[in-house]
A and B are shown apart, each in its own frame.
Chain A
Amino acid sequence: MVLIFKYFFPVIFLLSAGNWLVAPEKSGDWDEETPVQEVLKELGEATPAHLLPGESATSLMIIKQGEDIVKRGRTIGPNGKLSSYVSKYFICTNCHNIEQEDPDLTSRDPELRLEYAREKGIPFLQGTTFDGIVNRETWYNDDYVKKYGDLVKPAHDDLREAIQLCAIQCSQGRPLEGWEMRAVLAYFWSLQFTLEDLQLTPGEMAQLQAESANPAKWESLRKLVKGKYLQTSPAHFSDAPPDKTKGYGLTGDPEKGKVLYELSCLHCHNANGVSEYVLDQSQMSFRDLEKKIPKDTHYSIYQIIRYGTWAQPGHRPYMPHYPLERMSNQQVEDLRAYVDRMSG
Chain B
Amino acid sequence: MLKTRKILIYSFALWLFSILSLAAFAQKEIVYHTFKGTRVVNGHSVEAQREGELEMIIAHRFGRLNGGPYELFGLDQANMRIGLEYGLKDWLSVGAGRNSYEKTYDGFVKVRLLRQRVGGLPFSATYVGGMAYRTMHETDSVRALFATNRMFYSHQLLLASKIGDRFSFQLMPTVVHRNFTESLVEKNDVKAMGVAARVRLNKNFALTGEYYYILPNQLADIYFNPAGIGIDIETGGHVFQLHFTNSRGMTERFFIPETTGNWLKGDIHFGFNMGRIFKVKGRWY
Q: Which residues of A contact B166 (CB under 8 A)?
A: 282, 284
Q: How large is the interface on B (under 10, 10 to 19, 20 to 34, 35 or more residues)?
A: 10 to 19
Alpha-carbon gap, A284 to B199, bound state (A): 12
Assembly CA distance A88 to B237 (angstroms) = 16
Q: Known contacts being A280-B165, A284-B166, is A88 close to B203, with CB within 8 Å?
A: no
Interface residues of B in 226-285 (CB under 8 A from A): 236-237, 279, 282-285
Option from A272, A282, A283, A284 in Cβ contact (under 8 Å) with B285: A272
**A274 to B284, Cβ gap below 8 A?**
yes
- Whether B203 lies near A284 (C-beta < 8 A) is yes
> With a CB–CB cut-off of 8 A, which chain B residues contact A283?
165
**Pick from B203, B236, B237, B285: contact of A288, CB under 8 Å:** B203
Q: Do residues A88 and B283 form an inter-chain contact, with CB atoms below 8 A? A: yes
Q: How far is the CA of A85 from the CA of B166 in the complex (A)?
A: 37
Q: Quick check: is A317 within 8 A (CB to CB) of the other chain?
A: yes
Q: Which of B33, B200, B202 contacts A271 (CB 8 A)?
A: B33
Q: Whole-angstrom distance between the alpha carbons of A91 and B282 in the complex?
A: 12
The winner among A87, A276, A285, A317 for most chain B CB atoms within 10 A is A276
Contact partners of B200 in chain A: CB under 8 A: 284
Interface SS of chain B:
loop
Task: Decide if B18 is an interface residue (CB 8 Å cutoff).
Answer: no
Interface of A is mostly: loop
A52 within 8 A of B: no
**Contact string against B for A residues 265-301, beta-carbon threshold 8 Å, 1 for contact and 0 otherwise:** 0000001111011101011110110000000000000
- Which among B33, B202, B279 is the interface contact of A88 at CB below 8 angstroms? B279
- CB closest chain-B residue, reference A289: B203
Find out whether the CB atom of A287 lies under 8 angstroms from the CB atom of B203: yes
A63 to chain B, nearest CB (A): 23
- Bound CA–CA A282/B167 (angstroms): 12
Q: Is B32 an interface residue (CB 8 A)?
A: yes
- Distance A278 CA – B32 CA, assembled complex (angstroms): 11
The answer to whether the Cβ of B148 comes within 8 Å of any Cβ in the partner chain is: no
Question: In the complex the two chains form, is B283's CB within 8 Å of A85's CB?
Answer: yes
Please determine whether B236 and A276 come into contact, CB atoms closer than 8 angstroms.
yes
Chain B residue at smallest Cβ distance from A315:
B237
Asked if residues B283 and A284 are in contact (CB atoms below 8 Å), the reply is: no
Ranked 7 nearest A-B pairs via Cβ: A282-B165, A271-B32, A288-B203, A276-B236, A284-B203, A274-B285, A89-B284
20 A-B pairs with CB atoms under 8 Å apart are: A73-B283, A85-B282, A85-B283, A87-B283, A88-B279, A88-B283, A88-B284, A89-B283, A271-B33, A274-B284, A276-B236, A276-B237, A277-B236, A278-B33, A280-B165, A282-B165, A282-B166, A287-B203, A288-B202, A288-B203
Residues of A within 8 A of B (CB): 73, 85, 87-89, 91, 271-274, 276-278, 280, 282-285, 287-288, 317
| B residues in contact (CB < 8 Å) with A | 32-33, 165-166, 200, 202-204, 236-237, 279, 282-285
Other A-B pairs beyond A89-B283, A288-B202, A288-B204, 14, CB < 8 Å: A85-B283, A88-B282, A89-B284, A271-B32, A271-B33, A272-B285, A277-B236, A278-B33, A282-B165, A284-B165, A284-B166, A287-B202, A287-B203, A288-B203
